[in-house]
Structure 1
């Protein structure tokens, strides 16, 4: 097991890496998960391929934001709970401070023309980044396995058609690959080890009627963090239902701006909850909303990781994990299409996305922050011309 070997990096190096990823990691969960693989597995050899795959699978099965969960798991691999805590905190903090600053600017100066201009450019470039990330993940994990390809294509199609990620399909894909590869005798092996996370208490539902807004914020966002699977994008419809329709905390325009803020800031997409919390009730609201969103996924990861390490090499679990991974990458590829429909609205945005993808394809070591910065500048110039 990896814990007996002295890790090739210190806890401080891990913290610095995740801080940097949280500060410059653009492109949403797909891209972030891809960067972690590129940096920690391929370039630095800090994390083994199998540990990474286990972490990705656990992040897929468990509810909560995908990239943050994978980061917490990778911190856990060598440094256990300390590592998980440091990685999670270092990853979320930079983008939280950014959305706090943006929330303050938004409330103080109203309007968002410059933000819309930046988002116009960055949103398009992000699609290019995601296309390349999704392609790499597909080649690496789906390979030539016909069954995995069938799962991948089905999930991609379902994600595009329903514009959401359906959690039970991930689990179903895992079970299917397990049945096909392992041909288990019924009752021979149980998948119960996988779900210490499934029995979440329904506290949130019982007390959500409390008149105090801060308590309502804490409960609502805990529920959001606990019941949303897959990428941060999956949380958007759930948030909309609660924040705009049910509680009337924000109007449509403010909510769309909040999602834009999630996209123009690096780090986990779900950090938009901090921005929303700020709009509802200032700094305390921002802290509570962000904390409540991330605590469930932290607890689930730390509680489930030891079981996952213990049983992770069983052929049944490996098959299950392969199925879930293929399903997840299919859903991720599908979400690229869904996002593209929202971000690519005219000829300049289509060109930006295409040029970004081409650049990343040709220039292997091109840093994403440079692309994002360039796209933001293009947006500032082109957006006012297109929307005057």
Structure 2
């Protein structure tokens, strides 16, 4: 490969093919997805330089929403204007949505079959271990001093003992972070987590010194246009749902609930899962705790952002509630999965298309603000509570009075060992645990 001259210009359709391919291979959670994009776009294809790639990533990291999907949207927008961003972001999600609709239907229709039940019997303990690993991974990165440890502990107590809603915990952490940034700035001045660019792979199409293209330059009228279009794209479907079915209908409430969830995903999907659980399981009763664990397992093992678990929640909830009538449960589930995906990801597109020109106005590294640092610390405590919740339902499936499930405990311990010590991937761990669960079920039933 010639690394002394810039690559040939990339057409919209060449980029389209790449973004479609990425949608089917984007396994491994945000870290894995960002690594794939870096290897393909920075190292192999040289569509964008290392410095510009990290600059875009730092912006996406401070936004609510799935940062890998937003990064794809940002680079697509930078290369091929608004439609390039829309296509890149949509193709990052669509394969996962279609796969999850099919898997959700198979789960509902055949989940009680011995084969499927056995597989999920092994997957549930693996998911509990995966969530513990997520708390550890985020904690080691976020909890750099005793102030942040205290915020994490307080958030755990607030949600575990006080059963406070997740938005209240986020708001409280943001306030503490703001005060900490004013009175103890050294303890809250945590960077974006990405080192400055120190590698060079040859000239790129969008290089360090490449001028910002005309469409990416900030203009007030363009910002107003994006805001108005975004508001209409949210308001029109919500108004139609409310008018057609009523505000209290399952589909309308899903649209409203997942709009709020989309604005609370600071710190990634694991941060918003407790909020989704509180609403979908505790408040609305769209699915059971056991189904929530199974949905997270499906989200972990399919391509796309982990937050795509919301498609499973929407499908199962609308299917079980017969949201469109008792005779078309699959249609209700599929419509709900598409609706919740729309409302969950719409803000992500708007943040990039509206904020991108502001980011492109400077190529200096962005930093996390003190409130976001505190929110990330609070998220650690919230995820730990989620891990305990999953562990309880896996190890005592009938409650504390129903006996301890020793086989699930062994599988969970094996999954934790594979994740923490042997550094195996989530997909590998889930697959092995699923087989172990099936064998255990066949031997004990």
User: What TM-score do the two structures reach when normalised by structure 2?
Assistant: 0.63
For residues 198-241 of structure 1, give each alpha carbon's deviation from its aligned partner in whole angstroms, at most 9, with x where no partner exists.
Answer: 9986995996485599x945423211211234423422342346
- Which residue is equivalent to 1:302? 349
Judge conservation of contact 1:56–1:325 (CA < 8 Å) in 2: no
Please show how residues 135-214 of structure 1 align to structure 2 within 5 Å: 135-142=136-143, 144-161=144-161, 166-182=166-182, 208=242, 210=244
Please show how residues 1-388 of structure 1 align to structure 2 within 5 Å: 12-21=17-26, 32-36=29-33, 51-52=56-57, 54-59=59-64, 69-80=66-77, 81=82, 82-83=84-85, 85-94=87-96, 96-104=98-106, 106-107=108-109, 111-142=112-143, 144-161=144-161, 166-182=166-182, 208=242, 210=244, 216-228=249-261, 229-230=264-265, 231-240=272-281, 244=285, 255=288, 258-266=291-299, 267=302, 268-272=308-312, 273-279=314-320, 280=322, 281-305=328-352, 306-307=354-355, 310=358, 318-345=369-396, 346-364=405-423, 366-385=424-443, 388=445
Which has the larger share of helix?
1
SS in 2 for 1:58: coil
Q: CA RMSD in A?
A: 4.3
For residues 58-81 of structure 1, give each alpha carbon's deviation from its aligned partner in whole angstroms, at most 9, with x where no partner exists.
Answer: 22xxxxxx5xx3343222332235
* Change in 2 beyond 3 A, CA 1:337/1:256: closer
CA distance in 2, matches of 1:58, 1:172: 18
Structure 1: stretches of 5+ with no match in the other structure:
26-31, 60-65, 185-195, 245-249
Judge conservation of contact 1:222–1:293 (CA < 8 Å) in 2: yes
CA distance in 2, matches of 1:151, 1:40: 33
CA distance in 2, matches of 1:77, 1:300: 13
* Change in 2 beyond 3 A, CA 1:165/1:79: farther
Shift of residue 375, structure 1, vs aligned partner: 0.6
For residues 254-292 of structure 1, give each alpha carbon's deviation from its aligned partner in whole angstroms, at most 9, with x where no partner exists.
Answer: 755643541341342212112433453344323321122
SS in 1 for 2:112: coil
Judge conservation of contact 2:16–2:87 (CA < 8 Å) in 1: no
Task: Count matched residues.
Answer: 345
Q: Please identify the structure whose Cα radius of gyration is greater.
A: 2
SS in 2 for 1:111: coil
Structure 2: stretches of 5+ with no match in the other structure:
1-5, 43-49, 185-226, 266-271, 303-307, 323-327, 397-404
- Which residue is equivalent to 1:247? none
* Change in 2 beyond 3 A, CA 1:104/1:383: closer
* Change in 2 beyond 3 A, CA 1:304/1:264: closer
SS in 2 for 1:78: helix
CA distance in 2, matches of 1:353, 1:269: 21
CA distance in 2, matches of 1:171, 1:43: 38
Judge conservation of contact 1:204–1:220 (CA < 8 Å) in 2: no
Judge conservation of contact 1:76–1:83 (CA < 8 Å) in 2: yes
CA distance in 2, matches of 1:205, 1:33: 33
Judge conservation of contact 1:19–1:91 (CA < 8 Å) in 2: no
CA distance in 2, matches of 1:335, 1:44: 35
